[in-house]
């Protein structure tokens, strides 16, 4: 069980789980834009693209790929942009005029042909899109955890923001030359670090994409890093077993489930539930420790995760939400707390996923020059947060000024799971609220946030974790139809077990009073 969850944690850091979310194109047939399917044929041969010359292009290779199942025949152009940014652009034999790009998880560096990314490539091509991706300038298999800066400091900038921009620019130019016409509309869809990349595109390069879906965006790398160090400090010497986490999860659900007016196993907005570990979970008698109770040290450590890091009694960054500790099936079908191996250290994973991300960021990206032997235990929460400011200016997607993106007609959809156990949901909520104010009035004319009850990081958890925000943003860009709801589904073994409308924040889904509580049709979006 623990091994399986450890593998899942690793995937969430650098793999497909951190790059895309949901079911893009799942409701393509209902799109008002009719985007699915191509009509434009190439004007030249795939082989001719091998002679392409572009600024910053180091090397290029092309291959014509035959149709295979649902994946149409296409031309794959790959290569390197200065200094070491690997890229790939796939051009279908019949093009719908649109450009689609996915991002990267964690510290990026994924192999561009890993199974998850291959699936996304095929899905986009089957709907007629030109599809592009990049490794951001390094491969994690060779340079993991931020260590890529040791070989070339430029890789830090490429990872932070540059690689996505130059890849999008190059890919669209290659498409123009291949089809003899410019891309009509450009779209971004990604999760986690990929969500951060999408927000940075809107902030730094507002002309690159018309529509951006930023799922669970890693808005504030530096704040997250401080939070992960805080959690590790709190939990590493305070063992909390799966049985004890079950006590916490059961107590949370017992107190918080019905706060929204419906007892349905989902917590619509965890902020509305006042839960305190020390008083709401059975406490062990003094001097004892058993599976049926929490010691004072265990209760205090868990509460610190909920509260988030603080300095002199003042919060530094949000903590994780009640409900994020819920038990859900892992990749092998076994059930464990969503905290396992992600937040909570275990004997099998003394360095959980959140801490691994934070430690790599501290050792290689925060300090200049890097400090590969940096010991997180020396971090002083009162003194040291300013150490992260230099890196934050490069990597954080916290700029709320989106006026240039808005002025050119750009549309932004953000999603976040309330039960996310890698990135703190309030990171996204707080950014959205600040951006709404900064871009007033009527910021919801170009940007909307959809919170997902019970969903973990990008997917998973106990809530409805599959949705098609891509079709929503395409119809918003091309037809001016703003999404008033996005239907999310929970799918188990190919069967839809639950559906629920996701509502534009701060609206929430409320039960109409009749119909199945597992059917989206039984709910409507209302003010909280």
> What distance in Å separates the CA atoms of residue 418 and residue 413, rounded to the nearest whole number?
16
Q: Is 180 left (phi over 0), alpha (psi -120 to 50) or beta?
A: left
Rounded CA separation 376/362 (Å): 8
pLDDT given for residue 369 in this prediction: 96
Please give the C-alpha separations between residue 462 and each of 46, 242, 400, 417, 492, in angstroms, as whole numbers. 46, 17, 32, 10, 11
| DSSP output for 419-457 | T-SSS-HHHHHHHHHHHHHHT-S-GGGTEEEEEETTB-S
Q: Which residues pair with 91 in a beta bridge?
A: 75
The pLDDT value given to residue 3: 36
Mean pLDDT, rounded, of the chain: 94
State the angle between helix axes of 353-360 and 2-14 in degrees (0 to 180), rounded to the nearest 10: 40
Task: Supply the pLDDT for residue 13.
Answer: 47
Which of the four pLDDT bands, split at 50, 70 and 90, describes residue 21? low
Residues 281-309 have a mean pLDDT of 97
192: left (phi over 0), alpha (psi -120 to 50) or beta: left
Q: What is the pLDDT of residue 350?
A: 79
Say whether pLDDT at 170 is over 90: yes
Give percent of the chain with pLDDT exceeding 90: 92
> Which of 225, 187, 219, 285 has its CA nearest to residue 434?
219
pLDDT of residue 140: 97
pLDDT score of 2? 35
d(CA 423, CA 37): 35
Burial of 169 (0-12, 13-18, 19+ CB in 10 A): middle
DSSP calls for 351-376: S-HHHHHHHHIIIIIISSS--TT--G
- Give 63-108 pLDDT, tens digit per residue: 999 999 999 999 999 999 999 999 999 999 999 999 999 999 999 9
Averaged pLDDT, 143-149 = 97
Per the document, the length of the chain is: 528
pLDDT surpasses 90 at 8: no
Widest distance between CA atoms in the chain: 79
Averaged pLDDT for residues 375-399: 98
Q: What is the pLDDT of residue 14?
A: 45
DSSP annotation of 155 reads H
Is the pLDDT assigned to residue 158 strictly greater than 70? yes
Quote the pLDDT of residue 17.
41
Judge whether residue 456 has pLDDT over 90: yes
Please give the model's pTM, rounded to 2 decimal places: 0.95
Structure confidence at residue 329 as a pLDDT band (50, 70, 90): confident
Mean local confidence (pLDDT), 51-63? 96
Q: What is the mean pLDDT of residues 155-166?
A: 98
Span 218-265, pLDDT tens digits: 999 999 999 999 999 999 989 899 999 999 999 999 999 999 999 999
| Rg over CA atoms, the chain | 23
> What CATH superfamily is the domain 1-483?
Alpha/Beta hydrolase fold, catalytic domain (3.40.50.1820)
Q: Which residues contact 218 (CB under 8 A, 6 or more apart)?
A: 192, 193, 195, 196, 224, 397, 423, 427
């Amino acid at each position: 069980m623990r091994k399986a969850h450890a593998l899942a944690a690793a995937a969430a850091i650098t793999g497909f789980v951190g790059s895309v979310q949901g079911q893009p194109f799942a409701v393509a047939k209902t799109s008002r834009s009719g985007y699915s399917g191509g009509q434009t044929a190439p004007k030249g041969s795939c082989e001719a693209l091998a002679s392409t010359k572009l600024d910053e292009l180091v090397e290029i290779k092309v291959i014509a790929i035959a149709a295979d199942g649902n994946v149409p025949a296409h031309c794959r152009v790959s290569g390197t942009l200065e200094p070491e940014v690997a890229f790939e652009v796939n051009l279908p034999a019949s093009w719908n005029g649109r450009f689609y790009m996915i991002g990267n998880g964690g510290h990026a560096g994924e192999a561009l042909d890993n199974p998850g990314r291959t699936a996304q490539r095929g899905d986009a091509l089957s709907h007629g899109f030109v599809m592009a991706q990049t490794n951001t300038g390094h491969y994690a298999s060779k340079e993991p955890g931020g260590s890529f800066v040791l070989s070339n400091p430029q890789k830090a900038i490429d990872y932070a923001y540059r690689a996505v921009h130059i890849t999008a620019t190059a890919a669209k130019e290659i498409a123009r030359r291949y089809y003899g016409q410019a891309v009509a509309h450009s779209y971004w869809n990604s999760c986690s670090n990929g969500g951060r990349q999408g927000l940075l595109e809107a902030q730094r390069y507002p002309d690159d994409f018309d529509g951006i879906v930023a799922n669970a965006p890693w808005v504030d790398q530096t704040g997250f890093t401080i939070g992960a160090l805080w959690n590790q400090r709190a939990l590493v010497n305070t063992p909390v077993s799966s049985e004890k986490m079950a006590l916490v999860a059961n107590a949370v659900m017992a107190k918080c489930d019905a706060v929204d007016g419906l007892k349905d196993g989902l917590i619509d907005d965890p902020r509305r539930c006042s839960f305190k570990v020390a008083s709401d979970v059975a406490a062990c008698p003094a001097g004892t420790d058993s599976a049926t109770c929490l010691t004072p040290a265990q209760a205090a450590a868990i509460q610190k995760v909920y509260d988030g890091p603080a300095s002199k009694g003042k919060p530094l960054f949000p903590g994780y939400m009640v409900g994020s500790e819920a038990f859900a099936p892992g990749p092998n079908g076994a059930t464990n707390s969503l905290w396992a191996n992600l937040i909570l250290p275990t004997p099998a994973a003394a360095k959980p996923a959140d801490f691994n991300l934070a430690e790599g960021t501290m050792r290689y990206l925060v300090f200049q020059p890097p400090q590969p032997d940096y010991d997180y235990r020396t971090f002083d929460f009162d003194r040291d947060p300013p150490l992260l400011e230099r890196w934050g200016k490069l990597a954080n997607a916290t700029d709320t000024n989106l006026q240039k993106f808005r002025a050119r007609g750009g549309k932004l959809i953000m999603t976040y799971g309330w039960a996310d156990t890698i990135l703190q949901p309030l990171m996204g909520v707080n950014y959205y609220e600040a951006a709404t104010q900064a871009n007033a009035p009527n910021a919801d004319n170009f940007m909307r946030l959809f919170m997902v009850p019970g969903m973990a990081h990008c997917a998973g958890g106990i809530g409805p974790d599959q949705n098609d925000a891509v079709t929503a943003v395409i119809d918003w860009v091309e037809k001016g139809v703003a999404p008033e709801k996005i239907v999310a589904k929970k799918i188990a073994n190919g069967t839809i077990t639950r559906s629920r409308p996701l509502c534009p924040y701060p609206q929430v889904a409320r039960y109409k009073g009749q119909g199945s509580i597992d059917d989206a049709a039984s709910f409507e979006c209302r003010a909280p």
